[in-house]
């Protein structure tokens, strides 16, 4: 077997692109916070589960550890700048809902608020916390999902998530989604 022609580096976080989401937490209006997270993803299909990784130093860490609940709010192009701001500023110093003007709305299964301006909200209940080093991994079951009515195809009533104009994060930069390259299974589809 041949050797690679590539340049070899030590281990590092080069898994890209990544989702970028705003996580909301807290059980009272005073405590509500927003933290932007890229170390997140789906980890299980049935039951539906996701994970978020948080540094113990972050303001939201203690809140989520205590409440065992949070909401994942997807980020679209319009929200990219405010999501970035929530990622570089701390809830210790700022009331982020007040500063950003984002609208907190009531969730159905958790006390944490949802961001109404976000196209999709996922209510999550923590099932397990695993300390890994710099971050703790919070695994959670997704107990309810809220989807902006404009994202449904009016003819089929199916969710057309392309309408959400979601943002992705890759190696320190935010991007819109670009060319649609194919649907799952397109490589074996009969033309």
Closest CA to 167 of 179, 176, 156, 154: 176
48 lies in the binding site for its own copies (CB under 8 A): yes
For residue 137, give Cα distances in angstroms to 99, 168, 179: 28, 21, 33
> Which 8-state DSSP code applies to residue 52?
E
* 14-43: contacts with its own copies (CB under 8 A): 14-19, 21, 29, 38-43
5 lies in the binding site for its own copies (CB under 8 A): yes
**Closest approach of Cβ 62 to its own copies, in Å?**
19
Instruction: Single out the residue of 34, 35, 82, 110 in contact with its own copies (rule: CB under 8 A).
Output: 82
73 lies in the binding site for its own copies (CB under 8 A): no
* 118-157: contacts with its own copies (CB under 8 A): 120-123, 128, 130, 132-135, 137, 139, 141-149, 152
172 lies in the binding site for its own copies (CB under 8 A): yes
């Amino acid at each position: 077997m041949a050797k690679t022609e590539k340049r070899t580096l030590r281990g590092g976080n080069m898994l890209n692109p990544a989702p970028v989401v705003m996580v909301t937490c807290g059980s009272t209006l005073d405590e509500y916070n927003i933290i932007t997270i890229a170390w997140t993803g789906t980890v299980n299909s049935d039951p539906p589960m996701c994970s978020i990784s948080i540094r113990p130093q972050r303001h939201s860490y203690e809140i989520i550890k205590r409440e065992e609940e949070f909401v994942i709010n997807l980020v679209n192009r319009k929200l990219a700048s405010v999501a970035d701001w929530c990622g570089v500023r701390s809830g210790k110093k700022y009331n982020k809902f007040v500063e950003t003007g984002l609208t907190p709305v009531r969730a159905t299964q958790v006390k944490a608020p949802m961001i109404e301006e976000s196209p999709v909200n996922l209510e999550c209940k923590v099932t397990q916390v695993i300390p890994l080093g710099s971050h703790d991994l919070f695994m959670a079951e997704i107990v309810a999902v809220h989807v902006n009515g404009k994202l449904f195809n009016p003819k089929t009533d199916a969710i057309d998530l392309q309408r959400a104009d979601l943002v992705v994060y890759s190696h320190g930069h935010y991007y819109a989604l670009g060319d649609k390259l194919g649907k799952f299974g397109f490589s074996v589809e009969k033309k």
